[in-house]
Amino acid sequence: MLFLLCPLILAAQEEEFDMSAFEEASDAKVFVTNKILGLSPTKLLNLSFDYAGQNTWTTTSGDAFPGNFPESESNFNSNYGLRLETNYPVISNNRLIVNAYLNYWESRYNADASEPPVAQFFNNNELRTTALGAVIFKPLDDRQFLLFQLEGAINGNYNFNDINVDFGKTKFSGSALYGWKSNDYTNIAFGVSRTYRGGRLLHLPVFMFNKTFNETWGLEVLLPARAYLRRNFSPKSFLMLGGELEGQSYHLQGPASNTFQGDLANNDWELRKSEIRTRISWDRAITDFIWFNVQAGTIITYRLDVDTTATSPDAWLTNSLGIPFYFRFGIQLVSP
Amino acid sequence: MKKHIFFLFVLLTPLFLLSSASFTQSQKDKDLILGNWKPSNGRSVVQIYKGNPQNGEDPEKYYGKIVWLSEPNDENGNPRTDINNDDKELRKKALKGLVIMKDMEFEEVDGKVVYWEGGTIYDPNNGSTYDFESEINKKNPNTMDGRGFIGVSLFGRTDTWTRMVRK
C-alpha cells in the first residue's frame, strides 16, 4: 500500500507552489531585519596592522596654558600598531539583536633620540585603547527599528607594568537612533550621540543611510563617524572609497608624563586626538568566512592637543601636524 | 495454557499500544519541521521535505528547497539563477527549486522544544554555506528558529522562519 502511495507522495512534493493559496500562519509576527542586500558583512573578528609614515608635529601653548610653552617641532618616523576587534552576537533573533564587542588598539610612535621632549614622550609611551561595548538592534514592526550603541573605553598610556589602568578615567559614549527600512536595499536612521570621536566629549546628531543601488554600487553612511561609496565586484569582493573620523581622549599618567609636561606641575593629562582617515579599502573572501582587508589613505589630524580635562574646548598645548600616508592590512572572520 | 496466553496478551497489549502511541508522537515531533517556511527577510519560501533517495538524499534527513521568490526574475527579466555560487558551472542553475538546506537530522525533544541539527544552509545572496540547526517550540509550531553558524553555534545568527499555511 505504501509502495503504491509513493508516486503520489513524490508527485505532491514536486507540485508547483502557488503563493496565492498560502498565507503566513496567523500567530506569527513579522519584524524588520537589520540586513541590507549588498552591504559589507559584519566581522566577528578583525586583526589588523596599521602603519602611518613620517610626520612632523609643531607643538605650541594653547589658550588654557598659563604662560608661554616654548614652541617645538618633532619629527616622527612612523606611527604603527595592532588592532584587535571582536564582535560577538549575544542575542540574535527576529525580535532583538545584541552584539557585544571588545576592541584593543595600540598606537606606537617612533622618533629619533635627538628629537624634542614631546617626541621622546610618545617614543616611550604607547597609546592604548580598550573598548567594551554593545550594539542593540530592536525592531518595532516590519519596517521601523531602534538602534543603540553603548561603550566604555579605557584610553591612555597604561602599559600593564609601572603605569596601571585608571578605571576612574573610563570614557563612556553611546548613540540612540530611530530608523526605518524602506526595502531590502535601503535603510535610514536619525539620532543623537555622545562621542569622543572629535577628541573631546561632544554631543552630536547622527545620521545613518545604507543604500544598495544595484549589484555594483552602494552607499554606507553613518555620520559623523564614516561615509563610504561601495563598489561590489561580487558578494565576496568589494572596494570602499571614503573616510572615517577616529578619535579618543587618552588619559596620560605616571612617571613618564613628567618628561612630557616639562614645567607643568600637574601630571594628570588628557591627550585629545581626532583624525579623519580618507581611504580606499578592499575586502575579499579567502574562504567563505575568512576575509582579508587592505586599505590605504591619508590621515588628516583634526585635533591633537593636551589639557587637564576631556571636555574643555580650550587646551594647554596644541599640535599642528602634516598629512601622512597610511596603510592597514587585516584578517577577518565574517559573520553569517 | 490458554489462560496464560490470555494473561500475557492482556499484559502486553497496553504496553504495545503505549509504545505505538509514543512512536507515533515521536515521529510527529520529528516531522514538525516539514512544510513551507518563509525566512524573516520575506524574500523566499523554503519547502522542507524528507530526503528523496532518487536524488541521492537520505530519507532519514530533512532538506529544504526554494519554492517561491519575491523577485523571481533578474534585471533583464530572466529567471534568477545562482549567480553567486563559487562553482561557475552551478551559476546557471535556477534559484527556484534550489536545495539550500541539507542533511538536517532530528536531534531530540527537550520539554516542549524540538531540535534538529547537523545540517547546512546555503545563502544564495553571497554563495556561502554555513552549518545549520533549528528548533521549534511545540507551543508555537508555526515559527522555527534557524541558526546559521561557523563551526560552533556560538559564532552564528538566528533567523526566525514563519510557517506558510493554506488559506
Question: Using one digit for the tens of pLDDT, what is the confidence trace for A198-219?
Answer: 998 999 999 999 999 998 999 9
Question: Using one digit for the tens of pLDDT, what is the confidence trace for A240-295?
Answer: 999 999 999 999 876 544 555 544 445 678 899 999 999 999 999 998 889 999 99
* Residue A171 DSSP SS3: strand
B57 at the A interface (CB within 8 A)?
A: no
A205 contacts A178 by C-beta, under 8 angstroms: no
Which residues on chain B are in Cβ contact (under 8 Å) with A336?
123, 128, 130, 148-150, 156-157
A291 contacts A300 by C-beta, under 8 angstroms: no
DSSP H helical ranges for chain A: 2-14, 117-124, 257-261
DSSP secondary structure string, chain B? -HHHHHHHHHHHHHHHHHHHHHHHHHHHHHGGG-EEEE-TT-SEEEEEEE--GGGT--TTSEEEEEEEESS-B-TTSSBPB-TT-SSGGGGGSBSTT-EEEEEEEEEEEETTEEEEEEEEEEETTTTEEEEEEEEEETTSTTEEEEEEEESEEEEEEEEEEEEEEE-
Vertex A266: Cα angle to A301 and A194 (nearest 5): 45
Has residue B52 got a pLDDT over 90? yes
For residue A298, which phi and psi values (nearest 5 degrees)? -125, 160
Interface touch A94/B38, C-beta < 8 Å: no
B148 at the A interface (CB within 8 A)?
A: yes
Alpha-carbon distances of A36 from A30, A43, A98, B41, rounded to whole Å: 17, 15, 17, 10
More confident residue, A307 or A258: A307
CA–CA separation, A130 vs A156, rounded Å?
A: 9
In whole angstroms, what separates CA A181 from the centre of its chain? 23
Q: Quickly state the pLDDT bin for A68 (edges 50, 70, 90).
A: confident
pTM for the model = 0.83
Residue of B55, B51, B66 whose CA lies nearest to B103: B51
- Which range is least confidently modeled, A9-13, A314-318, B122-126? A9-13
**ipTM reported for the complex, 2 dp:** 0.80
Domain ranges for chain B:
31-164
How many cross-chain Cβ pairs, A to B, lie less than 8 Å apart? 102
B43 contacts A184 by C-beta, under 8 angstroms: yes
Which residues on chain B are in Cβ contact (under 8 Å) with A92?
147, 156-158
B11 at the A interface (CB within 8 A)?
A: no
Which residues on chain A are in Cβ contact (under 8 Å) with B67?
17
Question: Using one digit for the tens of pLDDT, what is the confidence trace for A151-199?
Answer: 999 999 888 777 888 888 899 999 999 999 999 899 999 999 999 999 9
Three cell numbers, residue B69: 521568490
Task: Specify the pLDDT at position A59.
Answer: 86
Three cell numbers, residue B75: 534585471
- Which range is least confidently modeled, A109-113, B1-5, B61-65? B1-5
Write out the E strands in chain A: 22-24, 43-52, 55-61, 72-76, 78-92, 97-110, 127-139, 144-156, 171-183, 186-195, 202-212, 217-223, 226-234, 237-252, 269-285, 290-307, 317-321, 325-334
- Which range is least confidently modeled, A27-41, A127-141, A245-259, B140-154? A245-259
Q: Least CB-CB distance to B127: which of A17, A19, A236?
A: A236
More confident residue, A68 or A300: A300
CA–CA separation, B84 vs B79, rounded Å?
A: 15
Three cell numbers, residue B44: 523566499
Residue A255 burial class via C-beta count within 10 angstroms: exposed 0-12, middle 13-18, buried 19 and up: exposed
Q: Quickly state the pLDDT bin for A119 (edges 50, 70, 90).
A: confident
Task: Specify the pLDDT at position A5.
Answer: 46
DSSP H helical ranges for A53-159: 117-124
B38 at the A interface (CB within 8 A)?
A: yes
CB atoms within 10 A of CB A28: 17
CATH number belonging to domain B31-164: 2.40.128.520
Interface touch A289/B127, C-beta < 8 Å: no
Interface touch A24/B160, C-beta < 8 Å: no
Interface touch A37/B150, C-beta < 8 Å: no
B19 at the A interface (CB within 8 A)?
A: no
Q: Quickly state the pLDDT bin for A15 (edges 50, 70, 90).
A: low
> CA-based Rg of chain A, rounded to a whole angstrom?
25
B55 at the A interface (CB within 8 A)?
A: no
Q: Quickly state the pLDDT bin for A316 (edges 50, 70, 90).
A: confident
For residue A327, which phi and psi values (nearest 5 degrees)? -145, 160
Task: Specify the pLDDT at position A127.
Answer: 94
Residues of A with CB under 8 A from a CB of B: 10, 13, 17, 19, 21-25, 27-28, 30-31, 33, 35, 37, 41, 44, 88-89, 92-95, 184, 214, 234-236, 288-289, 333, 335-336
- Classify residue A27 by its DSSP letter: T
Alpha-carbon distances of A206 from A143, A225, A310, B144, rounded to whole Å: 20, 8, 21, 35
Has residue A1 got a pLDDT over 50? no
Sign of CA dihedral A64, A66, A68, A72: negative
